[in-house]
Each structure stands twice: as structure tokens, then as C-alpha cells.
């Protein structure tokens, strides 16, 4: 439990609620889902890999006796029809969709000079179009949930809430991340629109923007494996990278009774790292300094899958 959620939350605060999660088998989203399931929710996690998604669902279900966790693989968030079928199946088998986490994302390291139109489009399609499709596929169910769960909550139980997992690169700009910065800026804008247009129906829409999170698939692709602990964290004022529990706790807060009046907002969970954005060293080894690495055309060779625009589950 300590790995994915703090002990401060009361058990049962999400009893009989259902969360629908894209990218739910990934490092961050699986921790978010575990936290909600531990606290009473049932879940439906979505992913492209059938085997990985179903295995993750089985593992997540172990955090609470009697939990129902449905893993639906073979779903591409770039396809609205695929997502709509998954959302409909979730409601058919679990009874509702009360919470949504839009967490599927793509990332890789590339300067603009080497970024192909197809590579740029891949990230936009997964992050931005995928978030839009998730909204469209689930919003009718969220409106229904909001009707069942008035805000503020008279009984402490909540529903009708959607959360996107974003990033902070576009706040100040980040070399080698133009594609992700553009995609996540659009995600933030989409969620603002949801809050404005569906807030009157009782739905809340927010964003969590993680910083560098320890031990995640995303940071394996972005951070050089040659960096020492001190070199990796010296750009973060809080002195450390985040944990998946940090993101899960923020999710519990936003979806819980304490988050009733939080709508149309981005919660940055990064130890103030975005205020010293260049200090994280995305795609760089310790000896690579700005702008020298750009002028020489160098990036770290100690990254996981640096050149291929593959989907990274957050």
C-alpha cells in the first residue's frame, strides 16, 4: 500500500464507484488505479497490449478483496470507435463510469531538426486526439454519474470527474520535446473546455502534471542512464524525483470529497521542478550543456528506445 497511496485516506471513500483509465497498465496510471481500487472503487483499464493490460488488471485487483478490475486490451486511443466500445463494455460489466483518467501518452527524444512529420503526428494522435476521444467516449456516462452524485456531496461519495495526465514542458519550453509540449498544451486546453462546457452538468475536469517520476517507463525514455542520482535531481528544488504515490495521492484528492470545488485546474506535482525546467536534463548526459548539444547534434546514447515514437504508458 505504501508504494501507491498514503495512509491518510479513509477506506471506502470510493465505494461502488467505477474508474475508466486509458494507459492503465503503465507506471503512473496503474498506481493511480491501485489507489482508487484500494479505497473502494472498481476499475476498467485500457491498453493496446492485450496480455499486458489483462495482467495489470489481475495485479491491481489484488489490492482489495472483492475488487473488480476489468482489463481491456487491443484498444487504440486514436480510434474513437475502439474507445467507445471499451467504455460501453465497462458500463455493461461494471455498471457505470464515475471517474475517468486519460493517461495514454507517447514520447521519445528528438530535436526539431530530426523530428519527422509522422513522428510529430504520432504523439499528437496519441496524446491529444486520444484525450479528445476519451472525453467523447465517456462524457455521457460522467454526466449520468454527476446526476447521481450531487456536488457538494451530501454523503462524502463523489462521481462525474475526469482527469488528464499532462506534463510541464510547455510551461517554459524544453529542448528535444517540441512534439510532447505541443500535444500536452492541447490536452490542458481540452480539459479547460470540458470544465467550462460540462461544469454546469456537474462534471469536474482537471489536469495533473507530473514532473520527473522515479522508476517509470517515461523517464527511462527521457533520462540518461549514465547520470548519477545527484545529477538527475539537482534541477528539482525539492531535491528528489517524484514517486508514483505522489501522483496517486493527488488523484485521490481531486476525485475525493475534498476536491469538490476543484474544476478547470492543473495540479503540478513536480517539487517545483518546472521553475528550473532545464535542470532535469531530458535526453542529455551530464557533460552536455545548452546550446552546445543542439549545435553539435548530440543527444544521450543512454536512453531507452530514443528514436522510435512508441507509446509510453504513463
* H-state helical runs in 124-260: 130-148, 169-172, 178-198, 217-222, 229-233, 244-255
| Residue 3 Cα distances to 32, 34, 62, 63, 307, angstroms | 11, 10, 14, 12, 31
Task: Write down the pLDDT at residue 305.
Answer: 62
Is residue 9 one of the residues assigned to a domain? no
Please state, in angstroms and rounded to a whole number, the distance separating the CA atoms of residues 101 and 33. Answer: 9
Please state, in angstroms and rounded to a whole number, the distance separating the CA atoms of residues 182 and 120. Answer: 9
Between the two ends of the chain, the Cα-to-Cα distance in Å is: 19
Domain count along the chain: 1
Q: Are 126 and 145 in contact (CB under 8 A)?
A: no
Is residue 12 one of the residues assigned to a domain? no
Q: Is the pTM of this model over 0.85?
A: yes
Intervals of the chain under pLDDT 70: 1, 220-221, 223-228, 277-281, 305-314
Task: Write down the pLDDT at residue 301.
Answer: 85
Q: Are 165 and 29 in contact (CB under 8 A)?
A: yes
pLDDT digits over 90-149, tens only?
999 999 999 999 999 999 999 999 999 999 999 999 999 999 999 999 999 999 999 999
Please state, in angstroms and rounded to a whole number, the distance separating the CA atoms of residues 106 and 127. Answer: 7
Task: Write down the pLDDT at residue 34.
Answer: 98
Place of cell 517515461: 218
Is residue 10 one of the residues assigned to a domain? no
Is residue 59 one of the residues assigned to a domain? yes
Is residue 226 one of the residues assigned to a domain? yes
CATH of the domain at 208: 3.40.50.720
Range of the domain at 158: 18-306
Place of cell 470510493: 14
Active site residues: 166, 184
Task: Write down the pLDDT at residue 311.
Answer: 40
Is residue 6 one of the residues assigned to a domain? no
Please state, in angstroms and rounded to a whole number, the distance separating the CA atoms of residues 223 and 177. Answer: 12
Is residue 109 one of the residues assigned to a domain? yes
Is residue 127 one of the residues assigned to a domain? yes
Amino acid at each position: 500500500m505504501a508504494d501507491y497511496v498514503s495512509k491518510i485516506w479513509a477506506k471506502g471513500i470510493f465505494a461502488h464507484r467505477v474508474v475508466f483509465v486509458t494507459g492503465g497498465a503503465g507506471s503512473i496510471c496503474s498506481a493511480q488505479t491501485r489507489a482508487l481500487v484500494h479505497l473502494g472503487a472498481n476499475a476498467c483499464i485500457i491498453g493496446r497490449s492485450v496480455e499486458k493490460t489483462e495482467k495489470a488488471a489481475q495485479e491491481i485487483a489484488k489490492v482489495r478483496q472483492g475488487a473488480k478490475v476489468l482489463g481491456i486490451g487491443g484498444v487504440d486511443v486514436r480510434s474513437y470507435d475502439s474507445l467507445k466500445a471499451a467504455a460501453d463494455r465497462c458500463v455493461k460489466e461494471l455498471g457505470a463510469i464515475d471517474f475517468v483518467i486519460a493517461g495514454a501518452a507517447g514520447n521519445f527524444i528528438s530535436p526539431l531538426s530530426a523530428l519527422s512529420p509522422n513522428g510529430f503526428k504520432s504523439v499528437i494522435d496519441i496524446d491529444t486526439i486520444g484525450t479528445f476521444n476519451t472525453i467523447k467516449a465517456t462524457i455521457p456516462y460522467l454526466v449520468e454519474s454527476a446526476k447521481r452524485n450531487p456536488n457538494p456531496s451530501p454523503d462524502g461519495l463523489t462521481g462525474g470527474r475526469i482527469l488528464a495526465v499532462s506534463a510541464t514542458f510547455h510551461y517554459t519550453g524544453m529542448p528535444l520535446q517540441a512534439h510532447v509540449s505541443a500535444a500536452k498544451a492541447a490536452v490542458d486546453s481540452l480539459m479547460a473546455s470540458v470544465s467550462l462546457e460540462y461544469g454546469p452538468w456537474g462534471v469536474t475536469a482537471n489536469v495533473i502534471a507530473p514532473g520527473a517520476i522515479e522508476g517509470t517507463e517515461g523517464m527511462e525514455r527521457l533520462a540518461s542512464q549514465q547520470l548519477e542520482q545527484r545529477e538527475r535531481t539537482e534541477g528539482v528544488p525539492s531535491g528528489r524525483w517524484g514517486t508514483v504515490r505522489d501522483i496517486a495521492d493527488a488523484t485521490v484528492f481531486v476525485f475525493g470529497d475534498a476536491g469538490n470545488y476543484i474544476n478547470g485546474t492543473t495540479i503540478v506535482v513536480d517539487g517545483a521542478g518546472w521553475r528550473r525546467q532545464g535542470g532535469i536534463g531530458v535526453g542529455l548526459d551530464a557533460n552536455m550543456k545548452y546550446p552546445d548539444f543542439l549545435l553539435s547534434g548530440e543527444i544521450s546514447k543512454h536512453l531507452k528506445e530514443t528514436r522510435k515514437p512508441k507509446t509510453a504508458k504513463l
